[in-house]
Chain A
């Protein structure tokens, strides 16, 4: 079909059903191969569809109203959900509310501050909380930071658990907690940063990032879409880096006490 530039082809419910049949095939394949993923594939497919449809409706009202209060409320909901997702993905969670606070706090510090700088200084949109810019930008930042934080903190708790003898013997040789856990903390920060570094390396060569693809499909000229994508990649990399570093620092402070003892009793038992 020939289409003019700027024309968006509307997707019908049938088109989406056709795409969702892929998940059905994947679930059947999982059942046949005994991967045990079929339930998750189906549940998360339905959940993702419901979440996106819901946010679509919310965004329609939000874009129409441009209310600061609504933008703020939605961003808080997004932050809480991202903090929870990052926390529940960890195999050995930090006990109590602290683990959730660390995930949420690190994302708040990194994603929110970077989104604020980008909106008010770089993009310079007026007002800075214009929902068409603020919500998608924050969503992309939170989504990527969440993956980085979840990977890094999961790695930290797992590594400290498995390598506790090493850490304790280093402490016994007079090293402070920072020195005794330095190698582990560095590895965890690298782990958290790897997905975004891989994305940057592959962008344009292997993959066309989602936002850019969306803009091009929506009719934006490719060069403009590319400029936005470059900006977004820098912001995401910065946000992920700051988020991962602050999450690892805060988690380490919980797992070493004031006498620099490794406190694995602050972790929940593995289930």
Chain B
């Protein structure tokens, strides 16, 4: 029996919706749709960054019963463009646990082993995108909402990122919602595929 992790009923936000769907533990849902249709805003609503109405349940427990910061570590979002507020990479991984995680994982996404000692302004867009993924993973989310997570990456780095994320789905039960304009990528990574069109989310059978 499939274990439902996230249940969304009649979610409405900024003129979009009502949207209803569910996500199981370890599952990856792929989402495509035209630019401006509301995919990013849906992620922002799910991670409680913007007001929304409807029911969002995590293992049957309503979102409102979680403290907001706790909710955002359980249902976290990785935006397309990462922002860095300290000069050094290491400062963004400031706990010893986070540094160990970074050192252990950077090779898996094709980043240099000594990247923690670099300054942020030395990083390329692709390096920032992969580092932002590791920054989101180190808080150990149960669900990660990925907004075009490989848009700035070459084929090899894209493959590494896909492999890492699917490994974590399989081994650690991480659940993913993956937005991409690359249909081939969505076919590779997703267990189910949805299309967002005219403010509605429809499953592609």
Task: Output the least CB separation between B68 and chain A (Å).
Answer: 4
Q: Are B48 and A174 in contact (CB under 8 A)?
A: no
Q: Are A169 and B68 in contact (CB under 8 A)?
A: no
Across-interface contacts of B51 in A (CB, < 8 A): 257, 259, 261
Given A172-B49, A261-B51: A183 touches B79 (CB 8 Å cut-off): no
Give bound CA distance, A176 to B67, whole Å.
9
Interface 1/0 per residue, A155-168 and B, CB below 8 Å: 00000000001101
Residues of A207-260 contacting chain B, CB below 8 A: 257, 259-260
B81 proximal to A (CB < 8 A): yes
Count class of interface residues, chain A: 10 to 19
C-beta contact mask, B15-49 vs A, less than 8 Å → 1, else 0? Answer: 00000000000000000000000000000000111
Chain A residues within an 8 Å CB radius of B82? 169
- Is B135 a contact of A260 with CB atoms below 8 Å? no
* A168-B49, A261-B48 known; A174-B69 Cβ under 8 A: yes
Q: How far is the CA of A173 from the CA of B94 in the complex (A)?
A: 13
User: Does B77 have its Cβ within 8 Å of any Cβ on chain A?
Assistant: yes
Distance A174 CA – B71 CA, assembled complex (angstroms)? 8
Q: A183 to B83: give the CA distance in the assembly, Å.
A: 15
Would you call B70 an interface residue if the criterion is a C-beta within 8 Å of the partner chain's C-beta atoms? yes
Nearest-neighbor residue (CB-CB) of B78 within chain A: A172
With a cutoff of 8 Å between Cβ atoms, the chain B residues found around residue A166 in the complex are 83, 85
Which of A173, A257, A261 is in CB contact (< 8 Å) with B136?
A173
Pair A175/B69 contact, Cβ less than 8 Å = yes
Give A115 to B151 CA distance when docked, in angstroms.
59
Q: Which listed residue, A169, A174, A175, touches B83 by the CB 8 Å rule?
A: A169
- Digit string of A167-191 for contact with B (CB within 8 Å is 1, else 0)? 0111111111000000100000000
Given A259-B68, A260-B68, the answer on whether A174 and B49 have CB atoms closer than 8 Å is: no
Given A259-B48, A261-B50, A261-B51, A172 and B83 touching (CB < 8 A)? no
**B77 and A170 contact, CB distance less than 8 A:** no
Partner of B139, one of A174, A183, A257: A174
- For the complex, is B72 an interface residue (Cβ under 8 Å from A)? yes
Indicate if the CB atoms of B135 and A173 lie closer than 8 Å: yes
- Taken together as a complex, chains A and B put the C-alpha atoms of A260 and B73 apart, in Å, by 13
User: Are B50 and A172 in contact, with the CB atoms below 8 A?
Assistant: no
Query: Is residue B76 contacting chain A, with contact meaning CB distance below 8 A?
Result: yes
Q: Judging by beta carbons under 8 Å apart, are B85 and A174 in contact?
A: no
Q: A261-B48, A261-B50 are in contact. Are A174 and B70 (CB under 8 A)?
A: yes
Docked complex: B53-100 residues within 8 A CB-CB of A: 68-70, 72-73, 76-79, 81-83, 85
Contact A169:B79 (CB < 8 A) given known A259-B48, A261-B50, A261-B51 = yes
Do residues A165 and B77 form an inter-chain contact, with CB atoms below 8 A?
no
Q: A174: which B residues are within 8 A, CB to CB?
A: 69-70, 72-73, 76, 139
Q: Is the CB of A165 within 8 A of B69?
A: no
Contacts A261-B48, A261-B50; is A172 near B85 (CB within 8 Å)? no
CB of B70 within 8 A of CB of A170, answer no
How far apart sit A233 and B16, CA to CA, in the bound complex (Å)?
Answer: 56
CB pair B83 A171 closer than 8 Å: no
B136 adjacent to A172 (CB under 8 Å): yes
A166 to B83, CA, bound (A): 6
List of B residues within 8 angstroms of A183 by Cβ? 85
Known: A260-B68, A261-B49, A261-B50. A172 touches B77 (CB 8 A): yes
- Establish whether residues B139 and A171, one from each chain, have CB atoms under 8 Å apart when the complex forms: no
Complex CA distance for A261 and B49, rounded to whole angstroms: 5
What would 17 A/B residue contacts be, using CB atoms closer than 8 Å?
Answer: A166-B83, A166-B85, A171-B68, A171-B72, A172-B76, A172-B136, A173-B73, A173-B76, A173-B136, A173-B139, A174-B69, A174-B139, A259-B68, A261-B48, A261-B51, A261-B68, A262-B49
Q: Which 3 A-B pairs give the minimum distances between C-beta atoms?
A: A174-B73, A260-B68, A166-B83
- Contacts A172-B136, A173-B73, A259-B68 known; list 17 others, CB within 8 Å: A165-B79, A166-B85, A168-B49, A168-B79, A169-B83, A170-B85, A171-B68, A171-B69, A172-B72, A173-B135, A174-B72, A174-B73, A174-B139, A259-B51, A260-B69, A261-B50, A261-B68
